[in-house]
Structure 1
Amino acid sequence: MNTNSRKSFFIGGFVILVLSMTLAFQVKNDKLFALAKNIDIFATLIRELDSYYVDEIDPDQLVSVGISAMLEELDPYTEYIPEEESDDFRMLTTGEYGGIGALIGNRGGGNMILMPYTGFPAQSTGLRIADMILKIDSVDVASKPTSQVSELLKGPANTPVKVVVKRDQDTLEFSLIRKKISLKNVPYYGKLDEKTGYIKLSDFTTNASAEVRNALVDLKSQGISRLILDVRDNPGGLLNEAVEIVNLFIPKGKEVVKTIGKLQNVNFTYKTTKTPVDKDIPLVVLINERSASAAEIVAGALQDYDRAVLLGRRSFGKGLVQTTIPLTYNAQAKITTAKYYIPSGRCIQAIDYTQSRENGSLTTVPDSLRKEFRTANGRIVLDGAGIEPDESVEEVRYAPISYTLVAGNHVFDFATQYFYAHPKIPAPNEFQLSDQDYEDFKKFLVGKDYDYTTYTEKSLKDLEEYLEKEEYFKEIQGQLDAIKNKVNHSKENDLNSHQSEIRKILREEIVSRYYFQEGMIAAGLEDDPAIAMAKTYFDSPRKVGSVLASSKK
């Protein structure tokens, strides 16, 4: 290239660079102008509505509705948090609030204690499940909505509160001192047998990793040599807690997750920084369709390193990261700022919200467009649709009668009656419902409404509606009626034919009265098909090896 040509080349390149910068500056200016213009229009509209609208308006409420509607166009996780909701938001992210430490709700007759959390004022003072709340301090709350009752129970730590409840035929008064309530991320852990430990991880708020670590260390001191980590129904939470939990099982210096977004300051690679508690213990992780976000990072990272066998069902598929940003007047915004990518390089986000905004429906990644990635051992894993387990476990499906007995509060009410009649029961893993107990439950249901539609009845109804349009309907109507009568007769026997699952539900509800949340979880593990499958893997190391070493086809 001669001197003139070189000069022309550099001049041309410089001109292109200047034009590009000018264009970028112009685009940025155009966007800033559009923002300023629309903000001005919005503010002007609110002022004019306040002045001219025929009825009085609440500007705060109107603006909040407008902001929420705007954010709904983006994704479900980008939220506006006004000042008055800051405490609720803080509780969701930290698991902390000031109160008595009890879940309350309405079971038809009024607001009652549904679960006092172990070790907090409600439980230690003597409040129990099914206690009907009548008064809080001097306020009659018998007919108030649950949200107002909850607010009255909350308050600064170390402040007193009096609660009057109805328990069976008695009216009782309790004097409590509110405490800083920190909900457990690990509501239960224990030994399933001499070798097998179990940890239930239900959330990822502050201290989640410390709770899992403490549970693991305690179980190891009790002699376990294999572990089940259960993140089913875990909605996720703090990303750094997920990284720390993965670090319990894999060596220092390993990548756990990357976050990649539009701005450089949200791009970050999270690695393990500590010596693991146990990098060799056989590990099974349980997931399902309600395992999301941080729960998927833990499960996915352990799968990518071939460190654990995953059992259950495909996870939710939330690969989006939110950052909380302070706004003026103590408001906040939780904004999706990045996507996360686990060690194999895959992003497990299942819904493309950009496409969804364009076509008006939730758009998922088609199977044909999902990309292949490899685990440490070379197994094929796919992106774009959550974390897929190494082996599926079918969801337990209950019969319509079981759903109806629970929804109608009949199981809840019988468990309460049983509690009043029986001062104590054996430990959760020992307690069983006797045949006489079940007969008592059937007598308890006499005269109570628990009507329901079976799957067969629904199918027959659909068939009848279809056949009514046919000319020969009258000819077969008698046969249809005969079938319906037989179904009704079978329905009368559903309490017997579905006795096994109804007894399981009753047992767990009764155990909760004596042993609270921890006991209810422990009782539910006995007939859990995922737990049973996990044990088969532990009992067959060769099976584990073949799953973790072979490439998925």
Structure 2
Amino acid sequence: MSMEVVLALSPFPRFCLPNTNLKTTLSSSNSQVLLWRSPLMNVQLNHYHSRKRRGCINGGGASRRSLWPQFSNSYDRCNLKLGKCISRLREFMNSSEKMRKHVSSTLFTRLVVSVLMVSFAVSNSPSWALSEENLLFLEAWRTIDRAYVDKTFNGQSWFRYRENALRNEPMNTREETYTAIRKMLATLDDPFTRFLEPEKFKSLRSGTKSAVTGVGLSIGYPTGSDGSPAGLVVISAAPGGPANKAGIVSGDIILAINDTGTESMGIYEAADRLQGPEGSSVELTIRSGQEIKHLALTREKVSLNPVKSRLCVIPGSGKDSPRIGYIKLTTFNQNASGAIREAINTLRSNNVNAFVLDLRDNSGGLFPEGIEIAKIWLDKGVIVYICDSRGVRDIYDTDGSSAIAASEPLAVLVSFLIPNPGIIHNIC
């Protein structure tokens, strides 16, 4: 039968005839089973073609039989070399496996050591994990950083202050965090940048509502003519309120609330003490001029009308004397713009020639109400720009459709000495 070559140990063992022209007839005992190696085919074919070119394969039986010993010798030499290669390859694979395990073990060891070193370093350095208190402080810091117009921040590095504060300022409790925020704002030396705790902000917002449960007082801590503190002063008393009924008037000084002196009492604490449940009582010590009064007031729900108005006629000009409509606005609360419109319409029915808007000692309030009041007197154009450190953010203007007093002359009265923001609390 023809010599069969078995291609074994290949990825997919299979039978094939390496040279279909090979006609040598051998007995079945001489059939060869060869291990598949790529060089074997090259040696076999090259040897066969070389012998063919020399005329060794020309149909003669002897010549054909002489091919097999030469092929067998070539195969033995090749197989010996291949065996050595396979042995070295296996040694290399074994050493590679050992090396892989060694490298993996080394890398794992180094990783563990690195983690331990990092853990040790972290445990021996300040913890930079931000707590809830730190995040609250950073929120206040970012608000100033984003909106503050003076980017020198009063001549200091704002970023460095943040890092130093996070390292050095105690922020373990909410009160410590509030203290750190107030300390940060104090470095700006800006009386118009203030921090209000939630309770104080709630107290401030209560003054912008249409009604409040208390004694009906607008209070503040203005300074005297010589610059010294004037004490807790009554700015105004709501008409018909408990304080007004008890005879408390503008300019009176509140010395004590429920036997607690007001010298070191903050404006928001004083307002909180004056407010309370409807029907409850509060005791006040008042200095009115040279007289000291001790009053007990019952808290009521007081409607907050921030506007007072009256007709003023300038005397000495005969029947054509100028008629002035005087409007006093104490705060920009929810009723402010509506009350101003009502006052203007009432005064117009008395044929006024001009208006005076008195904003002295106004306690501030809701920004939208201020815009609506401005629209009453402005025909058209820009009312106000809102700018931050990045430039103009919002523009508020009017088209004149809300103006009802744009044709009459208007004079606006303001306080000569503007008190610091927050020193006046509206109604309590």
Q: How does the TM-score come out when normalised to structure 2?
A: 0.43
Structure number, greater radius of gyration: 2
- Which one has the bigger helix percentage? 1
RCO higher in 1 or 2 (8 Å CA, sep ≥ 6)?
A: 2
